[in-house]
Amino acid sequence: MPGMLKSRKDVERVREKAEKGLNQQKVRAMVCAGTGCLANGSLKVYEKLRELVSEKGLLVDLDMTEDACGEAHPNGNGIGIAKSGCHGFCQMGPLVRIEPQGILYVSVKPEDVEEIVEETLIKGKAVTRLLYQDSPSGTAVKTEDSIPFYKRQHRVVLANCGRINPEDIREAIAMGGYHAIAKALDEMTPDQVIQLINASGLRGRGGAGFPTGRKWGFAQAAKSVKKYVICNGDEGDPGAFMDRSVMEGDPHKVIEGLMIAAFAIGADEGFIYVRAEYPVAVTRLKKAIKEAREYGLLGRNILGSDFSFDITIKEGAGAFVCGEETALISSIEGRRGMPNPRPPYPAAKGLFGKPTIINNVETLSNLPSIILNGPAWFKSHGTETSPGTKTFALAGQVVNTGLVEVPMGFPLRDLVFEVGGGTRTGREFKAVQIGGPSGGCLAKDQLDVALDYESLRKVGAMVGSGGIVVMDEDTCMVEVARFFMQFAQNESCGKCVPCREGTKQMLALLTKITNGEGTEEDLELLEEVALAVKDGALCGLGKTAPNPVLTTLKYFRSEYEAHVLEKRCPAGVCQALKAYSINPDKCRGCTLCAKACPVGAISGERKKPHNIDQAKCIKCNTCVEKCRFGAISKE
Amino acid sequence: MGKEMEQMFQRKFDKVNSIVDKHDRKVSNLIAILQEIQAEYRYLPEEVLTYVATALGIPRATVYGVATFYTQFSMKPKGKYIIKVCDGTACHVRHSEKLRYLVREKLGLDDSKDTTDDLGFTIETVSCIGACGLAPVVTVNDDDVYGQMTPEALTIILDQLISKERSEGSTGKAENGDECPARNGQAHELDGGKGCLGC
């Protein structure tokens, strides 16, 4: 059991001790244990690494160094093996990062472990075949920092993700964790904290971009003995996973951020609301909170100050609308997660009727470094009106998928083509969807937009939570709009008429169009309904639900017209608008397609051209994929 | 009601009671209470909801309202294996609908049914599990996450699961009709064995 930390100096002492312990490790292998790499089997790699290194008697853990007071490996050749949070490069997992060289091994399998131990951990040499292969040049890239995916990133929020063991508070403290709250408690007043955050220009990273310091100011001014702070970890946007990665990879940063917010507004109780779909994040946060309590960083009179604070985790139960702050409050209170009209704003009357601040995971994770480095440092990144960095989740039909953090104002084109490496299918880039169901679809012509609040809003999209999904020419934009509307309709809570009925009608119109039954009047009606919902809906979910429709109508109108006027789906996606046929000249009668067809629509004799029964065909595309001779086409 | 049934009921509510007590019978913990109950029974039986309402001193409608609002809760029994096919944007543009179709096909479930009659399997579509880098993604009972799925790979996983479930002696009976062309030899027959397409 650690001693309770009673002052800023105690925090410093823990840091020194942990650093000393980490220095015992001459080399250190960090195995990614984010959801992505876990799915690829990284735990087996981790276990094998530990097993082999401890067999050789070289394993040095922080616990061992603490007991042995730094005597574990006097000759200094100890090896550390730890699990880390998400490195961000999920596509290439399982990832293993070797410190201090910064070598990154990709797609590591348990069979590779022996070579890693012998060559890299003991002899200090890189294993070329496990390095990332840069496809255009065909060369192996040794260190993480020189991989194109990482090169242009600037990691502040994600700084520790992949660098520390999220399940050990000492590693977080060694990287400067809890130093910001110690500084705030030691030498600042709540007013000064708010002034500092105001001066930094930090804006909410959850979507709307409201200035964080101003929000706090309202809550601080509210007269109430009891106040609450809430961390919004209900990352419901499909295509976004940056908050999950921070909660999994650096939970102590989230906790420290929430403490800073609580101190600023005078709250003594906090909640972290996490989606039910993120079980790993829940486990890591629970462990982190437990550790923080053991160290006296949560509880009464933290670090010898008057500030007392504790955190409870609330697990969501699956409702997108709960990302909206008033709905989230209802959910924490144990009710249906439905939004309430604002005002009153939560800062005046929130959880259980008390003044409440709700900040997003990423917003909170920015706070410690702002406190430690000052507002000028924060403003040195990003743009005038959108300072700092922003994490984006890059996914879809792009070569490098994963988590990236770039300065605000970063050109979208560079993100897709340089960091993301362009489309992975070799097909041409068509669109990029930013900000999930609340965001918009941008076409090639909008690629030069800068990624900041104002620029994105101007083109009809929004930063939202930061999900970026790349689409190639195989994607039908009308179908994408229908997909998002289906999502919005499913998730509409039903409280207000514009959203409840409007999303339903828009979905019906979009379905009609994708079924090939749309008319020109439907396009006009669709736009009219979309604008009405945008104006009339109660909460952010409803107000932004028409965005995917409005942006696709604006930037991809020709595709809508092809569906409506020519009854044709240019991307060949909409099932009702395509028919499959077999080219008799190319078909060799191998029967593969007939066997694969789930509904038995293909018939024919062996070694003779086959036929498709259009009445039976469900247009699932399986036959096209099965055919080795390119004999089946869709039109 | 037979004596055995009565005892079963008693046991059922004992467990519910301990869950409600663990959460201090607080209304603000209703969601957590329902989550634990569902973890226990794999669904929310109606009589249990009534019991929870009485225990917390709130109307049945309130409990029912919460239970039906959140997608995590189910009022119908779920299968032993819950197969979730992610249909987030990233998975969607990487054609997750094919996987969904395949799972339904394999389990013999049409669009009106999500759970097999023997309560072996349930298929769910989820809006995003946040593993977009690995799209498309399928999970089994939340523990096993399968990324970058193809219909072929998923077929293997499903076949293994199905035979595991059937051999574990659930009420479902084994079925013939494996479609693998390699197994029934037809593909090998073609071109006297040389033309095997190795599908």
- Calculate the alpha carbon distances from B41 to A108, A275, B72, B124, B141 in Å: 39, 21, 13, 17, 14
Question: What residue type is assigned to position A133 of the chain?
Answer: Q
Taking only residues 57 to 96 of chain A, the set having a beta carbon closer than 8 angstroms to any beta carbon of chain B reads 89-91, 93
Asked whether residue B9 falls in the same domain as residue B87, the answer is: no
Which of A472, A494, A526 is where one domain is finished? A472
Peptide bond just before A343 cis, omega within 30 deg: yes
Quickly count helices (H) and strands (E) in chain A.
Answer: 26, 21
Nearest-Cα residue of chain B relative to residue A573: B95
User: H-helix or E-strand containing B121?
Assistant: strand B121-126
Q: How many CB pairs under 8 A join A and B?
A: 174
C-alpha distance from B103 to closest chain A C-alpha (Å): 12
CATH of residue A96's domain is 3.40.30.10
Asked whether residue B103 falls in the same domain as residue B165, the answer is: yes
Local structure of A286: helix, strand or coil:
helix
- Calculate the alpha carbon distances from A455 to A394, A435, A448, B138 in Å: 19, 13, 10, 36
Among residues A15, A276, A16, the alpha carbon closest in space to that of A169 is found at A15
Asked whether residue A188 falls in the same domain as residue A332, the answer is: yes
pLDDT in tens, A532-586: 999 999 998 999 999 999 999 999 999 999 999 988 899 888 888 877 889 988 9
Asked whether residue A315 falls in the same domain as residue A400, the answer is: no
Q: Is residue B190 part of a domain?
A: no
Whether residue A207 has pLDDT greater than 90: no
Whole-angstrom distance, CA of residue A619 vs CA of residue B99: 14
pLDDT in tens, B1-55: 567 777 776 776 888 999 999 999 999 999 999 999 998 888 999 999 999 999 9
Taking only residues 135 to 194 of chain B, the set having a beta carbon closer than 8 angstroms to any beta carbon of chain A reads 135, 137, 142, 145-147, 151, 179, 181, 186-187, 190
Asked whether residue B89 falls in the same domain as residue B168, the answer is: yes
Asked whether residue B64 falls in the same domain as residue B86, the answer is: no
User: H-helix or E-strand containing A612?
Assistant: strand A611-612
Which of A435, A451, A472 is where one domain is finished? A472
ipTM: 0.86
**Partner A contacted by B111 (CB < 8 A):** no
Among residues A184, A157, A607, the alpha carbon closest in space to that of A371 is found at A184
Asked whether residue B59 falls in the same domain as residue B102, the answer is: no
Q: Is residue B185 part of a domain?
A: no
SS3 percent helix, strand, coil of chain A, rounded to 5, is 45, 15, 40
Q: Residue B198, class by beta-carbon neighbours within 10 Å (0-12 exposed, 13-18 middle, 19+ buried)? A: exposed
pLDDT in tens, A467-513: 899 999 989 999 999 999 999 999 999 999 999 999 999 999 999 99
Cα-Cα-Cα-Cα torsion A136, A137, A138, A144, nearest 10 degrees, comes to -90
Among residues A318, A360, A314, A365, the alpha carbon closest in space to that of A337 is found at A318
**pLDDT for B183:** 33
Q: Is residue B97 part of a domain?
A: yes
Asked whether residue A73 falls in the same domain as residue A207, the answer is: no
Question: What residue type is assigned to position A116 of the chain?
Answer: I
Peptide bond just before A344 cis, omega within 30 deg: yes
Lowest mean pLDDT among A265-279, A589-603, B150-164: A589-603
- Beta strands A429-434 and A467-472, pairing class: antiparallel
**Partner B contacted by A628 (CB < 8 A):** yes
Whether residue A308 has pLDDT greater than 50: yes
Structural domains counted in chain B: 2
**Partner B contacted by A240 (CB < 8 A):** yes
**Confidence tier at A73 by pLDDT (50, 70, 90):** low
Q: Residue B156, class by beta-carbon neighbours within 10 Å (0-12 exposed, 13-18 middle, 19+ buried)? A: exposed
A277 contacts B129? CB cut-off 8 A: yes
Q: Is residue A498 part of a domain?
A: yes
Taking only residues 1 to 30 of chain B, the set having a beta carbon closer than 8 angstroms to any beta carbon of chain A reads 26-30
Nearest-Cα residue of chain B relative to residue A436: B89
Taking only residues 158 to 187 of chain A, the set having a beta carbon closer than 8 angstroms to any beta carbon of chain B reads none
Dihedrals phi, psi of A429, to nearest 5 degrees: -60, 135
Which of A442, A457, A472 is where one domain is finished? A472
Helix spans in A438-545 (H): 453-458, 477-491, 497-514, 520-536, 540-544
Give mean pLDDT, residues B123-146: 88
Asked whether residue B91 falls in the same domain as residue B50, the answer is: no
Chain A hits for B30, CB-CB cut-off 8 Å, are: 334-335
C-alpha distance from B120 to closest chain A C-alpha (Å): 22
CATH of residue B86's domain is 3.40.30.10
User: Which range has the top average pLDDT, A259-263, B117-121, B141-145?
Assistant: A259-263
C-alpha distance from A520 to closest chain B C-alpha (Å): 27
Asked whether residue A371 falls in the same domain as residue A322, the answer is: yes
**Partner B contacted by A592 (CB < 8 A):** yes
C-alpha distance from B2 to closest chain A C-alpha (Å): 36
Q: Is residue B182 part of a domain?
A: no
- Nearest by CB to residue B72, choosing from A317, A394, A484, is A317
Q: Is residue A289 part of a domain?
A: yes
Asked whether residue B87 falls in the same domain as residue B125, the answer is: yes
Q: Is residue A217 part of a domain?
A: yes
Asked whether residue A400 falls in the same domain as residue A491, the answer is: no
Q: How much is the mean pLDDT over chain B?
A: 81
Asked whether residue A248 falls in the same domain as residue A345, the answer is: yes
Q: Is residue A2 part of a domain?
A: no
Range of the domain at B164: 81-172
Tell me the β-bridge partners of A633: A581
C-alpha distance from A232 to closest chain B C-alpha (Å): 16
Cβ pair A153, A404 in contact under 8 A = yes
Nearest-Cα residue of chain B relative to residue A88: B133
Whether residue A315 has pLDDT greater than 90: yes
Asked whether residue B60 falls in the same domain as residue B87, the answer is: no
Q: Is residue A611 part of a domain?
A: yes
Dihedrals phi, psi of A632, to nearest 5 degrees: -105, 130
Asked whether residue A445 falls in the same domain as residue A533, the answer is: no
Lowest mean pLDDT among A18-22, A236-240, A614-618, B164-168: A614-618
Asked whether residue A359 falls in the same domain as residue A396, the answer is: no
Q: Is residue A306 part of a domain?
A: yes
Asked whether residue A459 falls in the same domain as residue A496, the answer is: no
Cβ pair A420, A393 in contact under 8 A = no
CATH of residue B48's domain is 1.10.10
Q: How far is CA A48 from the centre of its chain?
A: 29
Per-residue burial over A447-486, b if 16 or more Cβ lie within 10 Å, else e, is bebbbbbebbeebbbbbbbbbbbbbbbbbbbbbbbbbbbb
Asked whether residue A276 falls in the same domain as residue A355, the answer is: yes
pTM higher than 0.95 for the full model?
no
Whole-angstrom distance, CA of residue A105 vs CA of residue A403: 17
A315 contacts B35? CB cut-off 8 A: yes
Tokens at residue A496, please? Answer: 């207000």
Structural domains counted in chain A: 5
Asked whether residue A342 falls in the same domain as residue A434, the answer is: no
CATH of residue A500's domain is 1.20.1440.230
Nearest-Cα residue of chain B relative to residue A620: B98
Among residues A203, A186, A178, the alpha carbon closest in space to that of A256 is found at A178
Q: Is residue B118 part of a domain?
A: yes
Q: Is residue B156 part of a domain?
A: yes
CATH of residue A602's domain is 3.30.70.20
Q: Is residue B187 part of a domain?
A: no
Asked whether residue B93 falls in the same domain as residue B46, the answer is: no
Asked whether residue A219 falls in the same domain as residue A317, the answer is: yes
Range of the domain at A629: 579-634
Whether residue A345 has pLDDT greater than 80: yes
Q: Is residue A570 part of a domain?
A: no
C-alpha distance from A585 to closest chain B C-alpha (Å): 19
Q: Is residue A3 part of a domain?
A: no
Say which residue the tokens 């059922």 belong to.
Answer: B12
Question: What residue type is assigned to position A215 of the chain?
Answer: K
Which of B47, B69, B91 is where one domain is finished? B69
Q: Is residue B49 part of a domain?
A: yes
C-alpha distance from A428 to closest chain B C-alpha (Å): 14
